[in-house]
Amino acid sequence: MGDEGGKARGEGFAIQVKTDKRSGITSDPNQYSEDEQYIVKLVGQVTRVSLETVAILRALPELHFGG
């Protein structure tokens, strides 16, 4: 895990940990889970849902508007 303002290392990519100077609030994606693969799994789930959405949209009949 990275320290404030640093980078935490994941599987081949960096996850940015940021602290807002004004508010002091730290944004750390690693804080949501103890699972080191959390972000990787989350990206995989988002990708799967996106691909399923495309398949559903392609299966819909074409709409014709206008006169």
- Within-domain flag for 65: no
Could you tell me the pTM of the whole model? 0.52
Rounded to whole angstroms, what are the CA distances from 6 to 14, 38, 51, 58, 60? 10, 19, 33, 43, 46
Q: Print the domain residue range for 14.
A: 7-59
Show the tokens assigned to 2: 């990275």
**66 within domain boundaries:** no
Q: How many CB atoms lie within 10 A of CB 17?
A: 19
Work out how many domains the chain is built from and give that number: 1
**Is residue 42 one of the residues assigned to a domain?**
yes
Instruction: Write down the pLDDT at residue 37.
Output: 86
- Say if 41 falls within a structural domain: yes
- CA pair distance 51, 45, nearest whole angstrom: 10
In a domain, 19, yes or no: yes
Q: Is residue 1 part of a domain?
A: no
Q: What is the pLDDT along the chain (67 residues), one digit of tens a residue?
A: 444 454 444 455 567 889 999 999 998 876 777 888 888 899 999 999 999 999 999 999 998 888 6
Residue 49, domain member (yes or no): yes
User: What is the reported pLDDT for 21?
Assistant: 92
24 by DSSP, 3-state: which? coil
